[in-house]
Amino acid sequence: MFDRKTVRIDERISWFSEVRHLLSPMSGVTDRPFRAICRDHGAHMGFCEFTSASGLYFENEQTWKLIDTEGEPGRVGIQIFGQDPAHMAAATRLLLARRMDVLDINFGCPAKKVVKKCGGSALLANVPLLEEIVRAVVEAADGFPVSAKFRTGWDDASLNYEEIGALLQEAGCVWVTLHGRTRNQKYRGHADWDTIARLVDALDIPVIGNGDVVDGDSYRAMTEHTRCHGVMVARGAIGNPWLFQQMDAVDRSEAWVPPSFRAMCEVNRRHVELEVQQRGEKTGCMVVRKHIAKCFKGYPGAAHLRKLLYAEETSAGMIAVLDAAARAGDPRLGADLVRNPEDLAS
Ligand SMILES: Cc1cc2nc3c(=O)[nH]c(=O)nc-3n(C[C@H](O)[C@H](O)[C@H](O)COP(=O)(O)O)c2cc1C
């Protein structure tokens, strides 16, 4: 339905022609359970949270734990960051034995601890080093597809996304993802979709647009505005894996039916179970909280439901609260679901 730009899809990623809705890498968020939940709701591809190439190279156990893709169904990408071309190349060689469909390089992270070592978005201000890194990774990948994700520049005075995009294409990246913000902007203000549109025009390879897509309307607006090959979503998917169904409905020109309150409870229940399987009882329960809180935000009684869930220290307790909430009904239909805990316990 969209007038997307016709692009050159590398034969190594012929499967990418139909990949339109991607779950962005998010540190501390896009673990395997969340990727599974998003995939269940129609994400065409998911990414592990970014990992330090040096951490992989020095065999840091915690870093390797983030790469947990063995046997993962569907399309999945691994993302690395770093400032040392030799470590980036070494990490690439190690990762080739892992289950992944693409290896992505992070040139967008604005976090101080990454930038001060000249990794992530700091490389936008050091183009020669960025080039050395992408060439080292592509060479080490030995024919395995490499992509890159980056921002529009370090700051408004040094926008260089077109130069970087052309460089990445020339160095052999199979696609690029542009987050339409500068490093200095971090997550403030709006993503500038004009920059994405310009990059789409300038490159032959697919450009994935990223920034501020939170529902079907914004998905449609970004795709129409930029003609990008696909859209990557990050914050909008937290607590809202239905975002992928919304985008799918837009692609099919169909109306989207929001999930029932019961379905929301059931998905969160499954998320609790998966996180606990993956990370153990304590961490699993902690990690899933932010998703649940975001999911019910804005519902009548949401604050109370959150309080009840946060008071639970075990997955069994959290699941009991969610099951009771599901039984109690849909607050949008007027049920005063969570006015007091006794209602939920019944
Ligand atoms: C909690 C959090 C963690 C993130 N971690 C990563 C990461 O590991 N790698 C990456 O490329 N971008 C990361 N990002 C940036 C997002 O992938 C995305 O580019 C940005 O949030 C803009 O998209 P959005 O408007 O859909 O959220 C992170 C963002 C958030 C909010």
Q: Could you read off the pLDDT tens digit of each residue along the chain, which spans 346 residues?
A: 899 999 999 999 999 999 999 999 999 999 999 999 999 999 999 999 999 999 999 999 999 999 999 999 999 999 999 999 999 999 999 999 999 999 999 999 999 999 999 999 999 999 999 999 999 999 999 999 999 999 999 999 999 999 999 999 999 999 999 999 999 999 999 999 999 999 999 999 999 999 999 999 999 999 999 999 999 999 999 999 999 999 999 999 999 999 988 999 999 999 999 999 999 999 999 999 999 999 999 887 888 888 888 899 899 999 999 998 888 875 443 334 444 444 443 3
CATH number for 261-345 (one of 2.60.40, 3.10.310, 1.10.10, 1.10.1200): it is: 1.10.1200
Give the DSSP H or E segment for 310: helix 302-311
CA of 189 to the centre of ligand 1 (A): 15
φ/ψ region of 289 (left if φ > 0, alpha if ψ in -120 to 50, else beta) reads: alpha
CA of 26 to the centre of ligand 1 (A): 5
pLDDT for 336: 42
Indicate which atom in ligand 1 lies nearest the CA of residue 191: 25
pLDDT for 337: 42
Q: Is the CB of 119 under 6 A from ligand 1?
A: no
Inter-CA distances, 73 with 26, 29, 100, 298, Å: 19, 19, 10, 33
- Interaxial angle between packed helices 216-226 and 193-202, expressed in degrees from 0 to 180 and rounded to the nearest 10: 40
pLDDT for 202: 98
pTM: 0.95
Helix (H, G, I), strand (E, B) or coil at 277: helix
Q: Is 38 known to be catalytic?
A: no
CATH number for 11-251 (one of 3.20.20.70, 3.40.50.700, 3.90.1150.10, 3.40.50.10490): it is: 3.20.20.70
Residue of 21, 22, 26 with the most ligand 1 atoms within 8 Å of its CB, for mutation: 26
CA of 281 to the centre of ligand 1 (A): 26
Any idea where the domains of the chain sit in the sequence?
A: 11-251, 261-345
Decide if 103 contacts 141 (C-beta within 8 A).
Answer: yes
Residue of 24, 51, 246 with the most ligand 1 atoms within 8 Å of its CB, for mutation: 24
Structure tokens at 41: 């709701």
pLDDT for 341: 40
Q: Is the CB of 29 under 6 A from ligand 1?
A: yes
Inter-CA distances, 188 with 113, 191, 193, 293, 341, Å: 19, 8, 14, 22, 38
Q: Is the CB of 126 under 6 A from ligand 1?
A: no
Q: Which neighbouring-strand residues pair with 107?
A: 150
Helix (H, G, I), strand (E, B) or coil at 209: strand
pLDDT for 328: 82
Structure tokens at 109: 């992270």
The string of DSSP letters for 144-185 reads S-EEEEEESBSSGGGB-HHHHHHHHHHHT-S-EEEESS-TTT
Q: Could you give the dihedral angle defined by the CA atoms of residues 297, 301, 304 and 310, in that order, rounded to the nearest 10 degrees?
A: -40
Q: Which of 38, 109, 265, 285 is the catalytic position?
A: 109
pLDDT for 342: 46
Q: Is the CB of 24 under 6 A from ligand 1?
A: yes
pLDDT for 30: 98
Q: Is the CB of 25 under 6 A from ligand 1?
A: yes
pLDDT for 330: 54
Inter-CA distances, 172 with 105, 143, 168, 220, 236, Å: 12, 10, 6, 29, 30
Residue 246: CB atoms within 10 Å: 25
DSSP 8-class letter at 60 = -
Q: Is the CB of 79 under 6 A from ligand 1?
A: yes
